[in-house]
C-alpha cells in the first residue's frame, strides 16, 4: 500500500528546525520533498556540531543536528540572487503541491518568490510560511528563535524549581511544535483543495504555537487571573505527580486518581496515609502538597528503584525510571517499536546513517522515509530531469539550464 501522501510534491525553502521538521514529517508520510538550499552555503545546521556524520572518504556528511530534521528529502541548491536561481525555484513551485518556507516576513518578496506570486502561477499551490511572530502584528519583522520564544511565550516562566531561575526545555519545543502544527495545517489545506481545487496560504508562527501549547496552564490563568508559579517537576493540579527519591536515585510517580494514590500508599507500607482525610481526594492533596510530599519522600527513599517500580507496575500505579538518552534507545519497548533507524547511505562511513523514525504507525506500517538526509545539492541532476518537477526526463542536461523558464 502506498504511503498516505504518495504523489504529493513539497518544495522546502526552509532551514534550521521548524520548517525542516515540517518537511521531514511530510516526507515520512510519503511526500516527495525537495529541499532548496542556498548554493555554497546550505542550511546553517549542517555546521551545528559536533557530532558530525563520518563520510566514507574520511570527511563528514554534516552535523547530526542537520540529519535529525532533514531525513527523507532530496536536495538541490540555488543562488537566490541570480536570475537563473530564482527561475529554478519558480519552475519547481509551478509543479509543486506545497511550498514550506521560513524566510523572514517579506524576505521572499524581494526575489519575487512570495506566496502571492507563486500562487498566481499555480493556484492549486499550498504555501506554508513559518516565522517567529507571524505575518502581521507589531513583532512581525523580528527574527524568531526557539529560546526567545520559550521565554516570550510563557513556557520558561512555568519551568524550573520554585526558588530557581526560569528554565527552557531541553528540546527546541517551540520549533518542533510549530513544525508539527504546520504539517497538520498543510494536510488540512490539501484536503480542502481536493474539494475546491484551490490552494491556500498558511501562516504559522512560533510564538502562536508556544502560546497555544500553554494549554491547561494558559487556561488556568484565563480562568483565575493569576500567573502560574513554577512547580519544578511537580504538577500544578495533581498530587502526587512528581520525581521521588529512591535509595539508588530518582523515579517518576504520576498518580492520576484517588485509587492509584491509595494503592501507592499501600505499596509504600503506609496505608493509613492513603485514607487520611486530608489526602482522600486530589483537591485535598493539592491543598496539602508540602506535608504529603515530605511524607512520601521519606517512604520512597528507603526503597530500591527496580523493586519499587516492579510493585507499582503490578498494582497499575503509573511510575517509571528517569532514563538517560542512551538508556532510552536500549529500552526494550523503544527497541520493539523500532524508533532507532539505520538508513542505507553509500556516502557514509559503514554504509548507513542513523535516524529516529516518525512516531506514526498506520495500518501496522511504521511511517519513516528510508532516504537519509542529503548532501548539499546531491540530487540536482535527478530533480532537474524529473518530469514530475518539470524536467525533460532521463538524458536531460546535467546543468538543467535549458529547462529553466525565467518567466515567473
Chain centroid offset of residue 265 CA: 38
Angstrom distances, CA of residue 391 to CA of 95, 157, 193, 321: 10, 52, 25, 53
Contact 221, 231 (CB under 8 A): no
Q: Which residue has the cell 500553554?
A: 214
Contacting residues for 141 by C-beta, under 8 A, at least 6 apart: 104, 105, 106
391 CB-side CA count, 13 A = 18
Which of 175, 203, 208, 242 is catalytic? The answer is 175
Element (H, E) at 38: strand 32-38
Q: Which of 96, 36, 63 is nearest to 378 (CA)?
A: 36
Return the sign of the alpha-carbon dihedral for residues 174, 179, 183, 186: positive
Q: Which of 395, 366, 380, 311 is nearest to 88 (CA)?
A: 380
97 classed as catalytic: no
Beta pairing partners, 203: 129
Contacting residues for 121 by C-beta, under 8 A, at least 6 apart: 90, 93, 94, 408
**CA end-to-end span of the chain, whole Å?**
37
Q: Which residue has the cell 559536533?
A: 50
Quick one: cell of 174?
Answer: 517551540
Mode of pairing for the β-strands spanning 241-246 and 200-205: unpaired
Q: How far apart are CA 169 and CA 160, in angstroms?
A: 9
156 DSSP 8-state letter: G
Quick one: cell of 287?
Answer: 491543598
Mode of pairing for the β-strands spanning 98-101 and 9-13: parallel
Q: How far apart are CA 31 and CA 321, in angstroms?
A: 37
Q: Indicate which residues carry an active-site annotation.
A: 175
Amino acid at each position: 500500500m502506498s504511503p498516505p501522501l504518495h504523489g504529493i510534491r513539497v518544495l522546502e525553502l526552509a532551514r534550521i528546525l521548524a520548517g525542516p521538521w515540517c518537511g521531514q514529517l511530510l516526507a515520512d508520510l510519503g511526500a516527495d520533498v525537495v529541499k532548496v538550499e542556498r548554493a555554497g552555503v546550505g542550511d546553517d545546521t549542517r555546521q551545528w556540531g559536533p557530532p558530525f556524520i563520518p563520510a566514507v572518504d574520511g570527511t563528514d556528511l554534516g552535523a547530526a543536528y542537520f540529519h535529525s530534521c532533514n531525513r527523507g528529502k532530496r536536495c538541490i541548491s540555488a543562488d537566490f540572487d541570480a536570475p537563473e536561481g530564482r527561475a529554478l525555484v519558480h519552475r519547481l513551485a509551478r509543479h509543486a503541491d506545497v511550498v514550506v518556507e521560513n524566510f523572514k516576513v517579506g524576505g521572499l518578496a524581494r526575489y519575487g518568490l512570495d506566496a502571492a506570486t507563486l500562487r498566481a502561477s499555480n493556484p492549486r499551490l499550498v504555501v506554508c510560511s513559518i516565522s517567529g511572530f507571524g505575518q502581521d502584528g507589531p513583532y512581525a519583522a523580528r527574527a524568531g528563535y526557539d529560546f526567545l520564544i520559550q521565554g516570550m511565550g510563557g513556557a520558561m516562566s512555568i519551568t524550573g524549581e520554585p526558588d530557581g531561575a526560569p528554565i527552557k526545555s531541553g528540546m527546541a519545543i517551540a520549533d518542533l511544535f510549530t513544525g508539527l502544527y504546520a504539517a497538520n495545517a498543510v494536510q488540512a489545506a490539501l484536503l480542502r483543495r481536493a474539494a475546491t481545487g484551490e490552494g491556500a496560504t498558511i501562516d504559522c508562527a512560533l510564538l502562536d504555537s508556544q502560546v497555544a501549547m500553554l494549554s491547561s496552564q494558559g487556561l488556568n490563568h484565563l480562568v483565575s487571573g493569576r500567573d502560574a508559579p513554577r512547580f519544578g517537576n511537580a504538577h500544578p493540579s495533581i498530587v502526587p505527580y512528581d520525581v521521588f527519591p529512591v535509595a539508588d536515585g530518582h523515579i517518576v510517580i504520576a498518580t492520576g486518581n484517588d485509587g492509584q494514590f491509595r494503592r501507592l500508599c499501600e505499596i509504600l507500607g503506609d496505608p493509613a496515609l492513603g485514607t487520611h482525610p486530608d489526602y482522600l481526594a486530589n483537591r485535598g492533596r493539592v491543598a496539602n502538597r508540602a506535608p504529603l510530599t515530605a511524607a512520601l519522600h521519606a517512604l520512597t527513599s528507603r526503597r530500591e528503584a527496580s523493586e519499587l517500580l516492579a510493585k507499582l507496575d503490578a498494582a497499575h500505579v503509573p511510575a517509571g525510571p528517569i532514563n538517560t538518552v542512551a538508556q532510552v534507545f536500549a529500552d526494550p519497548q523503544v527497541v520493539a517499536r523500532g524508533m532507532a533507524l539505520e538508513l542505507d547511505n553509500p556516502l557514509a562511513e559503514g554504509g548507513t546513517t542513523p535516524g529516529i523514525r516518525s512516531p506514526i504507525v498506520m495500518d501496522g506500517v511504521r511511517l519513516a522515509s528510508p532516504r537519509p538526509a542529503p548532501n548539499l545539492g546531491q540530487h540536482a541532476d535527478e530533480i532537474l530531469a524529473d518530469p514530475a518537477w518539470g524536467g525533460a526526463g532521463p538524458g536531460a542536461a546535467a546543468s538543467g539550464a535549458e529547462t529553466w523558464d525565467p518567466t515567473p
